Amino acid sequence: MIDVEDLIALIRNYNPRTNEALIRDAYDYGRAMHEGQFRHSGEPYFTHPVAVAAILTEQRLDDATIVTALLHDTIEDTKSTYGEISGRFGKEIAELVDGVTKLTNLQLGSAGNRQSENFRKLFMAMSKDLRVILVKLADRLHNMRTIKSLPAEKQARKARETMDIFAPLAGRMGMQWMREELEDLSFKVLNPEARSSIIRRFITLQKETGDVIHKITADIRTELDKAGIEADVFGRAKKPHSIWRKMKEKELAFSRLSDIYGFRVITRSEADCYRVLGVIHQRWRAVPGRFKDYISQPKSNGYRSIHTTVSGRDGKRVEVQIRTRQMHEVAEAGVAAHWSYRDGVRSVNPFAVDPARWIATLTERFEEGDHEEFLENVKLEMYVDQVFCFTPKGDVVQLPKGATPIDFAYAIHTRIGNGCVGAKVDGIRVPLWTRLKNGQSVEVITAAGQRPQGTWLDIVVTGRAKAAIRRSLREEDRERFVKLGAELARVAFEHHGRKATDKALRTAAKTLGLGSEKDLLARIGSAEMTAREVIEALYPELAAAPAEVVDSRRPVVGLAPDQSFRRAMCCQPVPGERIVGIATRGQGVIVHTIDCPALAEFEDQAERWVDLRWHAGKHAPDYPVSLMLTIANDAGVLGRICTLIGEQKANISDLTFMDRKPDFYRLVMDVDLRDVEHLHMVLTALEAESDVAQVERHRDLSRKP
């Protein structure tokens, strides 16, 4: 374990003005709090916080962050408290330690809404002070370096979480070295055979070709000396996981994989960066499409560099990164460079991004409400790789790799995105699903009245575009859902002898924590909530009393003891609807809905009309109703519709195709239902299905009672 004097020496290397007394006090306090605790490896537990602090000294971080590393597990794992740390070390350090403790307790690898909500908490903590996540990343790095002492199952879980969350987050923060090490340590756990195979092939390649890195580095230095350019040149083989990922993405065997070596040229000035680029392109042939200028167009995390790939010695492809010393510091430390110290003062690096501005760009446009949407947007932002395109006026638009003209349109303005009907790339009309490339000029074509299409969600890749499209689709559907919800609420309230007044709906909305009665109706109409739940919220006594089961042989009230009845096939009345009976000779009473057009022929025969109503209570699903549907002629559509109806606890008793076209089917489906509320539930579910163009209750007056 590093002792306190060695740790202070590491800090003093870049910060001679460090508060040594504070570091010693934190070291002694942390060691005392963790006394008697041991890691899975058998080492004293305090070796871990000290190692985390040492990792952070490599990034030349401030005293508060180093002290936080020494104390980061005290609140969670010892008898120490927030108040005690605040009183002894100050509020700033106490807040940082508390933030790291809360991050440690988040289960970021969990599934569903829990993971989404935990991601939101992670980014909220980052927005308060980004140093919290710097400590957490260093904590995860040391844990991954010492993961072998954990049980195999826990190793795999931690490695997967690191690969999916912490490694890409480190990369997004500009700490590429940490991302690569975290990925490689996880790769070693998750796929040791593949990693060993790549290392063995590297050893074989070195035996066959000699020390390629040394030879190419010497070649580059020679060319720079000829041109009189002062610069440092470094070369390295890429990490096993980076090579494995390229093999998977490009579907290439190791023997066919190129650019497995990377080289960096660190210059004295920005002008020298472009001089070096010229020297390299004059000496070696550039690979088309593999040039990126992140100096003129920096990444949002402050990264600046020129990337080019050339065919080097013996035709081997090599990637060369060219940057100044200040750019290199930001490339190594990323956002952490903002807190870096040198000679006892904060290092003012012109390329270091302000953390508050960076976290704002990362989380901008992430709307409140939909946790899954938030999680999707965060992951899109974390895994981003960039392309730069131009507007017709020459303005640069920065987009993630794989972006489309629709993403481009939304990056300019939401109004432009919503009204997009087409696009031209470099003057040529292209489909909206075209993937944009670096340097292309994009012109968006808009039209008044155009609205985003649901299919766009499968085309776009940016979180901003996805959020705007979903918002527009929700607004478009809202009025329709409000109308459906109002009808469902009316029927449900009448079923219990009440009225769905504005006051009742407002009260229900308030009780259920919704903003207004329109929000309530929209939820009912979109099947996010049932009308029954609304009634139970308003009238708990109705929820408590189980409904009486109605005898299906005598479900209507108003018949004489000797009268039989049948439902009219023309209107197919169901419990909950207003009904009337027509007495017939030899057939008993035929029950119609009160608005059935077939009743017109009995207007002059008042003596045949029988006043009827349905029994109150719970009816069995014994009432077939015909539905007319127009659906897309596509694989799996009919199966999804049948599943939807089944999910509503309804049975399909008959199905007849009325019309078959290349793009759609029209069919009549008989569905067995309990009551009118059940009918509206089924209709609402079908209305919401994107492959259902139209659905309505089918009433056939030609059918005899």
Tell me which H or E stretch contains 309: strand 306-311
- The CA distance from 216 to 110, in Å, is 46
Q: Please, are residues 521 and 487 in contact by the beta-carbon 8 Å criterion?
A: no
Active-site annotation holds for 84: no
Helices 63-71 + 82-89 axis angle, to 10: 150
Q: Which two tokens stand for residue 681?
A: 């539930």
* CA–CA dist 462, 453 (Å, integer): 16
> Which residue out of 58, 62, 77, 536 is catalytically annotated?
77
Q: Cα separations (Å) of 646 from 522, 554, 642, 654, 672? A: 23, 27, 6, 14, 11
Query: Using CA atoms in the order 462, 467, 470, 472, what is the torsion angle rounded to 10 degrees?
Result: -110
| 627 contact partners, CB below 8 Å, separation of at least 6 | 668, 669, 670, 671, 682, 683, 686, 695, 696, 697, 698
**Cβ atoms of 671 and 627 closer than 8 Å:** yes
**Residue 218: CB partners within 8 Å, gap ≥ 6?**
none
CA angle 43, 45, 51 (to 5 degrees): 90
Q: Which residues, including other chains, have CB under 8 Å from residue 228's CB and lie 6 or more apart?
A: none
- Rounded CA-CA distance 217/111 in Å is 47
Among candidate residues 76, 161, 332, 672, the one labeled active-site is 76
Helix axes 517-525, 463-495, angle to 10 degrees: 90
Q: Output phi, psi for 666, to 5 deg.
A: -120, 130
* Cα 555 from Cα 575, distance rounded (Å): 8
CA angle 21, 27, 31 (to 5 degrees): 145
Task: Let me know: does 620 contact 552? Beta carbons within 8 Å.
Answer: yes
* Cα distance between residue 157 and residue 163, in whole Å: 10
Gap between the Cα atoms of 598 and 605, Å rounded: 13
Q: How far apart are CA 232 and CA 221, in angstroms?
A: 8
Q: Known catalytic residue: 129?
A: no
CB 488, CB 684: distance < 8 Å: yes
Closest by CA to 349, choosing from 331, 363, 365, 361, is 331
Q: How many CB atoms lie within 10 A of CB 280?
A: 23
User: Would you call 354 helix, strand, or coil by DSSP?
Assistant: coil
Nearest CA to 321 out of 228, 221, 233 is that of 233
CA distance 477 to 494: 26
Q: What is d(CA 266, CA 82) in angstroms, rounded to the nearest whole number?
A: 45
Give the integer Cα–Cα distance in Å for 107 and 625: 48
| Inter-residue contact 684 to 648 (CB < 8 Å) | no
User: What are the percentages of helix, strand and coil residues in the chain, rounded to 5?
Assistant: 50, 15, 30
Other C-beta atoms closer than 10 Å to the C-beta of 125 total: 19
> Do 681 and 524 contact (CB within 8 A), yes or no?
no
DSSP assigned state of 162: I
Catalytic residue positions, numbered: 76-77
